[in-house]
Structure 1
């Protein structure tokens, strides 16, 4: 996801995906031009806009609280959390690993809907007290909406379809009963796909019933849920397939290297345009000192290529783009994800032994699958 950094809360980086801006506009428009005028007639357009603005802000604050609860519990379980990203379909906590025990998975998953229920009760109580006390509908209307939307959020997230919170709770229960995380994930993912089919079907039903906007949203949410369910299971398959596998088993040995003092123009002409590779290890005196990718070169203005060198654009090895030959692939995958270049150099005693790219991992998994099918 692309976006920008908003700040940090409790040490968790908060990022806003660009798609989030679309949903902010849609919710603000729906509330200020539709819901609030229909429910509370007689107010000025400026008042409706103010109500919509506050309600939209507090809604996303509620989403953030939901995701923060997941992240805080994950942290107590020893699971590293990089941060939280808000995007068009809500939010997601970016963790470096999954729970290793079903009880931990259950607690991490259940806290989100519980937080939403607490928020629903809180805003519902404000609406109830305010209504009986004669407060302005500007306050009670916003509170009522937030109570309702948080209740809907809690109920929707508890549907038993992976990777929704309810799907993760469902997976944790099956995992605890069977002792098999892979089997539990497959069942929960299948449940997620069927839930996606149902949402898409309901979306088309809404479309035929002239509810264009809600129908489109149901279809989009169903489509997103289907892809997320499939991706979640594939991710687990990759991780379990790589258990016990070392970097040296997957790496491409003795990769072609480039000199750190090579100009970017020569790098492009003599390497990127004449080779099939998208990256090269960078060496100095036969020792690896970094890695250069085509994207790093593209970020530099073309007119500077004639005098800028590979050293100026490369990612140094001290930024975590190296691994040892005996290192487990689970750790290597984390480094590939963290580096942002999806590549690591395999080094030993200051010497370059190989390189691992996303293609290397994909090819290895494909061979294992083919061999498994033949053996089966």
Structure 2
């Protein structure tokens, strides 16, 4: 399953702080950073095990175990290459439409294209969402053609088995993704159509979200039928997928509401003013012992006199081997202010959110003429939104 999304790398839902997928960088293709979420390994080995012990031995009996393992490894890797091609088609077209794309992340349910903004017109949304299933269909047809050629010219059974599998799985991928359930590609196509008809992006998203939740509930119901019918593994997977779809649909809409509510709000309204700072000459051991162990904060601005020079977070410290803490300083570990970790007090929260996502620190410093004015964290945003609810103000 592939989901084209504005940004699932950092997602704020139910007025809680963001949830960041734990991922590592794999490389770069066409200028897009390719990252792999740790959850991807679960589905990778599950597919590998299924192909090696079930699908290929059942469909092509009589081959050696080594052959089945080789078929499983090649089939699994090429399946994920297909998923990557699917996401690349989204990203390439989005970039052609002027939408900045940071990269692609592969995770347990396929992949997401990490973009900095949504499509600006229903036509762009329709095209960017629709290109994914078309790419999967093209891959299915190509693999089907290779299978047909292999059958007629006498290629090895193992080769034909892999091409047949890839043709089938990519066809299923194309069909599944065109279902009108947001945030699947088909759900985004549906939103584009609703957007065109209503002329209201937010209303169209709400309509598409209802469709996504209904599809998720339908898949859960199908999973329950499978479960009670004795197909336990299939049933559990369908329930899991259905739950994920329904949750992702609602989360995407909540994310839109949050961004709409914050649109036009200046950073000064959400910041915690004049936060506690640390000096750059502290050792990391002193920082941990005197600050992190006695404060509730996970990050501190770093200041020299009246001038802020950077920000240090607990995660940055944890990346340094513990035996080096006594010798390495805050200055050597911090993210300097020049790295885009600061905003102006009058800067709009839409830009603040973008900088928080780009820095991956979940916080930014608010500065004016080099002087620290405040700090904004994910928790500050969540509390501000909650206060609006508490006083009876609905999100936009």
TM-score interval, normalised by the smaller of the two chains: over 0.9
What TM-score do the two structures reach when normalised by structure 2?
Answer: 0.89
Gaps of at least 5 residues in structure 2 are 1-20
* Counterpart in the other structure of 1:290: 310
Using structure 1 for the length normalisation, give the TM-score.
0.94
Deviations 1:239-283 (A, max 9, x none): 111111111222122222222223334433443343333222111
Q: Which residue of 1 aligns with 2:11?
A: none
**Among 93, 103, 119, the residue aligned to 1:73:** 93
* Residues 9-18 or 104-113, more deviating: 9-18
Match of 1:260 in 2: 280
1:335 maps to which of 341, 355, 364:
355
Structure 2 counterpart of 1:162: 182
Correspondence list, 1:336-375, <5 A: 336-373=356-393
Report the Cα distance in structure 2 between the residues aligned to 1:374 and 1:238, rounded to whole angstroms: 10
**Separation of aligned partners in 1, 2:121 and 2:57:** 49
Is 1:17–2:10 an aligned residue pair? no
Distance in 1 of aligned mates of 2:70 and 2:310? 52
SS in 1 for 2:27: strand
| Aligned CA distance change for structure 1 residues 58 and 284 (closer, same or farther; 3 Å) | same
Aligned match of 1:114: 134
Q: How many residues align?
A: 376
**Which residue of structure 2 aligns with residue 139 of structure 1?**
159
2:106 to 86, 90, 94: 86
Rounded to whole Å, the distance in 2 between the matches of 1:204 and 1:334 is 40
Match for residue 318 of structure 1?
A: 338
Label 1:46 to 1:318 Cα distance change in 2 as closer, same or farther (>3 A). same
- Stretch moving more, 143-152 or 266-275: 266-275
> Secondary structure of 1:69's partner?
helix
Greater alpha carbon shift after TM alignment, 250-259 vs 328-337: 250-259
Match of 2:262 among 242, 246, 252: 242
Cα RMSD between the aligned structures? 2.0
Q: Can you give the 5+ residue segments of structure 1 that lack an aligned partner in the other structure?
A: none
Give the deviation of 1:125 after TM superposition. 1.6
Task: Tell me how far 1:132 sits from its aligned partner.
Answer: 3.4
* Structure 1: distance between partners of 2:277 and 2:128: 45
Q: Which has the higher helix share?
A: 1
Find the aligned partners of 2:40 and 2:291 in 1 and give their Cα distance.
Answer: 39
Task: Using CA pairs under 8 Å that are at least 6 residues apart, name the structure with larger relative contact order, 1 or 2.
Answer: 2
Mean CA deviation greater in 204-213 or 55-64: 204-213
Q: Which residue of 2 aligns with 1:33?
A: 53
**For residues 70-107 of structure 1, what are the alpha-carbon distances to aligned partners after superposition, in whole Å with 9 as ceiling and x for unaligned?**
00011111111111111111111111222122211111
Of 200, 203, 217, which aligns to 2:220? 200
Q: Which residue of structure 2 lines up, in the alignment, with residue 53 of structure 1?
A: 73
Could you give the per-residue CA deviations for residues 192-237 of structure 1, whole angstroms, max 9, x where no partner exists? 1111111122112212222222222112211221221121111101
2:388 touches 2:394 (CA, 8 Å); kept in 1? Answer: no
CA displacement at 1:373 relative to structure 2: 4.1
- The 3-state SS of whatever aligns with 1:345 is strand
Whether contact under 8 Å (2:261, 2:395) holds in the other structure is no
Tell me how far apart the structure 1 counterparts of residues 304 and 95 of structure 2 sit (CA, whole Å): 40
Q: CA deviation at 1:306?
A: 4.2
1:214 aligns to what?
Answer: 234
Partner Cα distance (1:275, 1:18) in 2: 30
